[in-house]
Structure 1
Amino acid sequence: MKLIAFIDSGIGGIPYMQHALRHIPGINTQYFADTAFFPYGVRKPGLLIQRLEQLVEYIENHYRPDIYVLACNTASVVALEHLRSRFAKPFIGTVPAIKPAALISANRRVGIMATSQTLQDPYLKDLIREYAGDLRLQKIAATELIEGIEHDFFRIDVNGHLKAIAQAFSDDKIDTVVLGCTHFIHLEELLQSHWKGNIRLVDSREGITRQIVRVINGLSLDSFPRLQSIMPEPDCSALADRSRFYITSAERLNYYKDIAGHFCSHFQDVINVR
């Protein structure tokens, strides 16, 4: 069994872990929510790189996973290349799905929701230049929305935030929206209800799962044109048997235990990263 470590500042990357578990046999997962350093999106790049290096060193010393997934767009655009140069293990990054959005947008008008750090990073600008030079892009930073998802998941009222975002994209006749922060996937159904199905949402879950398969098997991505679920939904006990959940701060411990259970993961420990 291969062990895959997923890293995010909070709960945003959980859907990426779940997607991998449902589509890849023979893996176990660990989810590290760096709650002591949440949110990554407001951290200075140098400080974020230092923190992620410390976190990966801790994980390496205690758990030694086979593959790391940075299940956070901000962490990926800021620190992915540094971590690849610093550690011998494979690192897979989660970057905004600009290329898929460019492929499916009919009117060439695309929106992107992300942290301000991701929207300002040169990595995103390079993605846009390479894959979306002909697109009209509208960018929206939604830090307050991310914090609401993280800290009040079970009772969050985001209608005010979503109404404003939906109106901005509708006014600009956007037909495709890139979910450029993993937290937004938790609002997928709500977002679709606001847009009444008129806007397509794009994220990187399938791309990340395909990349994990490629790294494990050394096979071409062309060998996996479509991913098929290996288990019916819901099969919470089967997921929990293969998934462990960690946080880096004891603050709101019971809340995060409930989060882990809600997403079919076994809460394991609070780790002390220094």
Structure 2
Amino acid sequence: MNNTTNPIGLFDSGVGGTSIWKEIHNLLPNENTIYLADSRNAPYGMRPKEEIVELSCKNTEFLLEQNCKMIVVACNTATTNAIKELRAKYDVPFIGIEPAIKPAASFTKTQTIGILATKGTLNSELFHKAVLNYKDIKIVEQVGHGLVKLIEEGSLESAEMKELLETYLEPMIKANIDYLVLGCSHYPYLIPQIKKILPQSVKIIDSGEAVAKQTKNVLIYQDILNTSSQRGYTTFYTNSNPAVLTNILENKYEVEEKDF
């Protein structure tokens, strides 16, 4: 099996998966990590399944070349469309992320929850199978057209972002949701803006913490947990302008631009 000090690899269609990376890094600070932002091809959400699988394989192979012992698919669209193919093709543990419907459906009092996600996630077979488990719950689905693009451009607090969020969230408020599930790893960066629009009674759920816990569980099960007492290193790569990723990371980390 791979050396326990080998890094965990994470990839996303851009900067959004850093929300997953942060949760993993907080829970497992001694693990070495490599983060790959495929921003040149963002967003994945509007691409056909075959293309998402192809891009996911390309990202995985890059990370395996860096001797990663595990791959975290830090992208809802890539997980729901490609993780089955990735697990079949590569002999390495994969961690995926899916919209956290289960906790929202379990705790809702109004029996109505909202989910904001990409078209690729909402149209995926994996998502449709997950929804079938909650036939007694009304799920208000909304494709977040344009949100990932604005985040990738660094326009988090733009007037256009505010307008889009209001358009997407108003029908959910009218439907009386009490939980909003964020079904894209980019969207946790929108929580401050979302909170300004939603009533205080609506709780927001994303997958980050659950993914971090699952990552730790699989590392232990596979006997590849890094038991070193040294704090882990992190390397960030992007195939686009590094400025947005650097900004999302609050200028605390160097980002290397790489053609992949």
Report if TM-score (shorter chain) is over 0.5.
Answer: yes
CA drift at 1:265: 3.0
Residues 121 and 248 from structure 1, CA distance in 2 versus in 1: closer, same or farther, beyond 3 angstroms? same
User: Out of 60, 70, 75, which is 2:78 matched to?
Assistant: 75
Residues 208 and 83 from structure 1, CA distance in 2 versus in 1: closer, same or farther, beyond 3 angstroms? same
Q: Which runs of 5+ in 2 are unaligned?
A: 223-229
2:30 maps to 1:26: yes
Q: Report the count of equivalent residues.
A: 248
The amino acid that maps onto 1:182 is S
SS in structure 2 of the partner of residue 143 of structure 1: coil
2:172 maps to 1:169: yes
TM-score, length-normalised on structure 2? 0.89
Provide the residue aligned with 1:270 in structure 2: 257
In the TM superposition, structure 1's runs of 4+ consecutive aligned residues that sit over 4 Å from their partners are none
Structure 2 Cα separation of the partners of residues 14 and 153 of structure 1: 17
Structure 2 Cα separation of the partners of residues 264 and 17 of structure 1: 14
Provide the residue aligned with 1:59 in structure 2: 63
> Going by fraction, where is helix more abundant, 1 or 2?
1
Provide the residue aligned with 1:227 in structure 2: none
Provide the residue aligned with 2:197 in structure 1: 194
The amino acid that maps onto 1:108 is Q
User: Out of 144, 147, 164, which is 2:146 matched to?
Assistant: 144
Structure 1 Cα separation of the partners of residues 251 and 89 of structure 2: 32
Structure 2 Cα separation of the partners of residues 109 and 116 of structure 1: 20
User: Out of 83, 105, 108, which is 2:108 matched to?
Assistant: 105
The amino acid that maps onto 2:24 is A
Give yes or no for contact 1:111–1:139 (8 Å, CA) kept in 2. Answer: yes
Query: Which of structures 1 and 2 has the larger relative contact order (alpha carbons within 8 angstroms, sep 6+)?
Result: 2
Deviations 1:114-151 (A, max 9, x none): 01111111111101112x22110111111212211111
The equivalences for 1:152-231 within 5 A come to 152-153=154-155, 156-157=158-159, 158-218=161-221
The amino acid that maps onto 2:162 is N
The 10-residue stretch of structure 1 (194-203 or 148-157) with the greater mean CA deviation from structure 2: 148-157
Provide the residue aligned with 1:234 in structure 2: none
CA drift at 1:54: 1.8
TM-score, length-normalised on structure 1? 0.84
Give yes or no for contact 1:3–1:27 (8 Å, CA) kept in 2. Answer: yes
Provide the residue aligned with 1:228 in structure 2: none
Provide the residue aligned with 1:86 in structure 2: 89
User: Out of 35, 38, 41, which is 2:42 matched to?
Assistant: 38
Deviations 1:192-228 (A, max 9, x none): 2211322111111111011111111119xxxxxxxxx
Give yes or no for contact 1:149–1:156 (8 Å, CA) kept in 2. Answer: no
Give yes or no for contact 2:179–2:205 (8 Å, CA) kept in 1. Answer: yes
CA drift at 1:109: 0.1
Residues 67 and 6 from structure 1, CA distance in 2 versus in 1: closer, same or farther, beyond 3 angstroms? same
Residues 255 and 171 from structure 1, CA distance in 2 versus in 1: closer, same or farther, beyond 3 angstroms? closer
The 10-residue stretch of structure 1 (118-127 or 160-169) with the greater mean CA deviation from structure 2: 160-169
Residues 174 and 147 from structure 1, CA distance in 2 versus in 1: closer, same or farther, beyond 3 angstroms? same
Sequence identity percentage = 26
- C-alpha RMSD over aligned residues: 2.0
Structure 2 Cα separation of the partners of residues 218 and 263 of structure 1: 35
Q: Which runs of 5+ in 1 are unaligned?
A: 220-237
Give yes or no for contact 2:39–2:152 (8 Å, CA) kept in 1. Answer: no
